[in-house]
Amino acid sequence: MIRTRIIGTGSYLPERVVSNYEVGVSLDLDPAVVSRLTGIQERRRAAESQASSDLAVEAARQALEAAGFPASELGAIVLSTTSPDTVFPSTACHVQRMLGCSAIPAFDVAASCSGFLYGLSMADAMIRSGQVKTCLVVAAEVKSRSVDPADGDTALLFGDGAGAVVLRGEPEASQLSRGLLGLRLRSDGAQHSLITIPAGGSRRPTTPETVEQKSHTLRMQGAPLFRLAVKRLDQAIREIVKEFGVDIHDVAQFVLHQANGRILDQLTKRLGVSQERVCSVIGRYGNTSSASLPIALDHVVRSGRILPHDIILLGSFGGGVTWATGLVRW
C-alpha cells in the first residue's frame, strides 16, 4: 500500500500591502471598524504585471526547495484557482511551462475556496493508483481583480496570494505511517447563489450591460454564508475525526480556510479547542480564497508548530457551495 506524504510546503504573498484605511475609505469605514468586523488588519495585492501563474510559480519554487526536489522530476501539477490567467489553457499549464517541467499532466480544479483540498484529493488518488509518484498541488488567487471596491461585503475581505505543497507516494509500513490519512469532499449546488460571479460564463456572456452592472465582480450574501460555513465545517470536522478514530483533542493543529476572523472564532468555540491550536493568518493576509489554506499550512510548518507524527486537520468551505476536510499524520 502507498500513502501520500507532504514533503514540502511553500507560499508567496505579493509585496504590496493594503491597509484597512485604504479599503475602508471608499466605504466611509474607520480602520478599527474594518478590523472588528473581519479580523483583518491588512491584505496583499498583486502587481499589475502579475497573474495567478506568477504567484503560483513562486509558491511552487518554495515548496520544491523545502522538499529538496527538482521540478524536472514532478509527476503532475494540480492547480486550484478562481482567477485563472486565461479561460484556457489552464493556469496549471502555464505553471508547468514556467517551472520547466517535462510533458506531465497539468490541470486546474474549480471548487472555489475548497479547491486546494479538492486538488489534494485528486493528487492523492493519482499517487495511490500508481499513475504518478509525485505531484505539485498549488492554489493561487488574484482575487482583488474580481472585487468591487464599493461593495462592503467583499472589498474588506479579499487579498491575493498562493500556497503549494509537494506530494510523494511512500510505502505504508503501518497504520502509524506519516502522510494523508483521508480527505472528504462535499458540495451543495442548491446554495450556489450565496457567493458567485454572475457573468462572464456561457450563461451570461460578457456584454456592455454586464460590464456596466458590475456583474463580473464577486457577489456574496455574507450573513447566510457565514452561518452555513460554520455549520457545515463544524459537522464535517466532527465526522472525519470520528471516521478515522481520532479524538478531536489529539489534533495538534487545525488549519482551516481563512475566510474571516469571526468564522475561525466560532469554529474554535464550537469545537472546544484552544486558539493556539487553530492557525490564523487572516489578520495579515485577508481571505485569499483557495490559496488561504496552503498559505496557512506553510506558516505553521515554517514557524515550527508542527512536529513529526502530529495529527493535522485541514478544512475549507467555499462557493458552490463546497466544503472539504482532511486528516494528515505529519
Which residue's C-alpha cell is 457545515?
A: 232
Q: How far apart are CA 237 and CA 316, in angstroms?
A: 10
Any idea of the CA torsion for 55, 59, 61, 62, to the nearest 10 degrees? 150
Q: Is 299 one of the catalytic residues?
A: no
Q: How far apart are CA 273 and CA 287, in angstroms?
A: 22
Residue 256 one-letter amino acid:
L
- Catalytic: which of 113, 135, 279, 299? 113
Residue 76 burial (CB count, 10 A): 23
- Catalytic: which of 20, 135, 257, 260? 257
What is the grid cell recorded at 103?
510533458
Q: Is 287 one of the catalytic residues?
A: yes
141: closest CA among 34, 286, 22, 20? 286
53: closest CA among 217, 158, 133, 164? 164
- Catalytic: which of 20, 260, 287, 299? 287
What is the grid cell recorded at 241?
475525526
Q: Is 257 one of the catalytic residues?
A: yes
Q: How far apart are CA 314 and CA 182, in angstroms?
A: 10
Active-site residues, by number, are 113, 257, 287
